[in-house]
Chains A and B, each alone.
Chain A
Amino acid sequence: MSLPSLDVERIRKDFPVLSRELPGGRPLIYLDSGNSSQKPTQVIEAMRDHLAMHYSNVGRAHHALGAESTEAYEGARDKVAAFVGAPSRDEIVFTKNASEALNLVAYAFGNPMGGDPRFQMGPGDEIVVSEMEHHSNIVPWQFLAQRTGATLRWFGVTDEGRLDLSGLHELVNERTKIVSIAHQSNVLGTVNPVAGVLARAREVGALLMLDASQSVPHHPVDVAALGADFVAFTGHKMVGPSGIGVLWGRGELLSAMPPFLGGGEMIEAVWMDRSTFAPIPHKFEAGTPPIVEAVGLAAAVDYLSAIGMDAVEAHERELTAHALGALGEIPGLRLIGPGDLADRGGTVAFTLEGIHPHDVGQILDDVFGIAVRVGHHCARPLHLRFGIPATTRASFYLYNTTDEIDALVKGLHHVQKVFG
């Protein structure tokens, strides 16, 4: 059996930005896809075509364009549902981004509009997140704890950058109503062991949510096989546009939840003193949705499916292996995250002894055209855990090459020369 493979040179031609030059004649070396990915012509053209020839509002416009636009928007839902293995298309809710998807679920708890006991929350109840979360999977739960008097608790992270499961049974207990953790860390690259956490959540009757913003773009993800209750991800990290995110939830749970935002399209009937609500998914899609963005996301899903997520994953694994090996030889480089390939994605964060990441990023960009992210990557508690203010992070995608990683390594040697 041959490993799935992709033709990276052919793929690079699909991304116009990868052939541009930066001021001063620098080539672009884009190693910041964990932040946001670049877009292929197929996505750009699909959005342009919809805007130019098929655009109107969806759902409520009873004319030819309305029908075409609605078909494209709802067709995008079908494609996204198939892409992540959702048992039903009605379980795909389009949001603004992954943050909104996480907030939507958090607002369902302790909400007087909802009656389902699984979403009731008050003092004594517990919410569990982890120390490796992006702020978007911490702050909404802090809000929820403050609103309801519930207690926010969290998994620690081991020195190697893995979820510390040693206290799992005490941490996730009969008082826990929801556990929400990253499927893959946006800093460490760690892929978390969902099955173990899920089994414990089920034992105690807690719900499980996954922030899959960093996993859905890079691995084959089947929400039914994962077995979680909610999964959030975002379009712009998976070669799609910004402005659209996705919440997948079990249909039965979504139906039991109160609405999030109120407005047009999410209602069934409105009186002056009360309203009834549309069935899912539209119950959660108030107002004119991101129509063209949904079309772009559908094109992104088509693009990734044609290449094959197995092939994308295998390619990134090769890049990650190359990066871990090459970076490991740089003196004074401290990797923040797992040093081996097991349960790990293509995000590599590190510090260089004595050199602030802002200085690292500035030289890499201005001298070599290498785009990395520097700072705390919206995961400040994780950086506090490792006792550092910031890291430099290189994150890879299907269009990156080992040559680009070699350029990064060369750039880091130069950085050390400048500040050494």
Chain B
Amino acid sequence: MIAESMYQELILEHYKHPQGRGLREPYDAEVHHVNPTCGDEITLRVKLGDGGKVEDVSYDGQGCSISQAAASVLYDLATGSTARESLSVVDEFTRLMQGRGQVEPDEDVLGDAVAFAGVAKFPARVKCALLAWMAYKDAVVRSQ
């Protein structure tokens, strides 16, 4: 039952009760990313403030539990942090997801996102977990 380790309680919680979902004003940049193999999609907006502070991340989209929960966790981690800090979390998350289950996650950096460690063992699902995070990275770059 490998999937049991993938569908962590925290992931299911975020899936059932997504944080920060819905598109909001104002925003500096809006991006739309899709995963062509499964049709998952996300529209994501970023609002940056003084000193690169992330004032808001708002998003809407559709997809599987992994992609939806990943967006919700991203919202929690990114808002209130700075663009620079959050991008380093994105890098660590990407490293974990692309590590084929062989990478030891840095919990201090990842926080709740460490719950996705099990997803890395499922190559077909890695893109689901990364969808919102790649969209966020793209939006931050465009905001700066």
A residues near B (Cβ < 8 Å) are: 23-24, 355-359, 362-363, 365-367, 375-376, 380, 383, 389-390, 418-419
Contacts and interface: CB of A to CB of B under 8 A. Distances in A.
B25 interface: no
Interface in B13-44: 15-16, 37-40
A131 to B, nearest CB: 17
Given A358-B128, A376-B39, A389 B62 contact: yes
Interface stretch (B2-10, B45-53, B84-92): B2-10
Interface residues of B, number: 22
Nearest to A368: B1
Interface string B115-140: 00000001011001000000000000
Contacts of B128: 358
B38 A389 contact: yes
A113 B37 CA distance: 38
Contacts of B1: 24, 366-367
B3 A363 contact: yes
Contacts of B16: 419
A363 B64 CA distance: 12
Interface of B: 1-4, 6-7, 12, 15-16, 37-40, 62-66, 122, 124-125, 128
A358 B125 contact: yes
Given A362-B125, A376-B39, A418-B12, A356 B65 contact: yes
Nearest to B34: A389
Main secondary structure of the interface of A (DSSP, over half): helix
Contacts, number: 53
B7 A375 contact: no
B38 A362 contact: no
B63 A356 contact: yes
A358 B3 contact: no
A357 B39 CA distance: 11
Contacts of B7: 359, 362-363, 418
Nearest to A356: B64
Given A24-B1, A418-B7, A389 B65 contact: no
A419 B15 contact: yes
Nearest to A418: B7
Given A356-B64, A356-B65, A367-B1, A362 B6 contact: yes
B20 to A, nearest CB: 20
B3 A389 contact: no
A315 B64 CA distance: 35
B2 A358 contact: no
A359 B124 CA distance: 12
B38 A358 contact: yes
A187 B66 CA distance: 25
A366 B16 CA distance: 21
15 contacts: A357-B64, A358-B38, A359-B65, A362-B6, A365-B3, A366-B3, A366-B4, A367-B1, A367-B4, A375-B37, A380-B39, A390-B39, A418-B7, A419-B16, A419-B65
Nearest to B40: A389
Given A358-B64, A389-B40, 8 more contacts: A356-B65, A359-B7, A366-B2, A366-B4, A375-B37, A419-B15, A419-B16, A419-B65
Nearest to A375: B38
Contacts of A357: 64
A367 B2 CA distance: 8
Given A358-B128, A419-B12, A367 B62 contact: no
A266 B133 CA distance: 53
A329 to B, nearest CB: 24
A372 B128 CA distance: 19
